[in-house]
Amino acid sequence: MAWIVLIVAGVLETVWAVALEGSKGFSRPLPSAVFAVALVLSMGGLAYAMRTIPLGTGYAVWVGIGAVGTALYGMAALGDAMTAARVSCLLLIVGGVVGLKALH
């Protein structure tokens, strides 16, 4: 169960990062509210998961999911550059996250 919560919390990290960008410095109420709710849920999920998952593994997986999700969203929806080098780096992050789970 902790791993499922951790994955959801990592996805919520992507949500709050995207909402933070969309809030334009907290000047837009709806994205600002989405940011706040997603942030609390993401942190709460991370805290719950780390009851049974070691700190280093849990935090690295959470950040990895959030970083990859945010980068992919940027490429898909915001026009961020999608180059072979960037995609390769994201695949390295995914490989690291999978490796941490496999070695847990």
pLDDT tens profile 73-91? 999 999 999 999 999 999 9
How many distinct structural domains can be found in the chain? Answer: 1
Distance in angstroms (rounded) separating the CA atoms of residues 4 and 27: 33
Distance in angstroms between the alpha carbons of the first and the last residue of the chain = 15
Taking only the tens place, the pLDDT of each residue in 27-59 is 999 999 999 999 999 999 999 999 999 999 999
**Boundaries of domain holding 39:** 2-103
Mean pLDDT of 10-14: 98
Model pTM?
Answer: 0.91
Whether pLDDT at 104 is above 80:
no
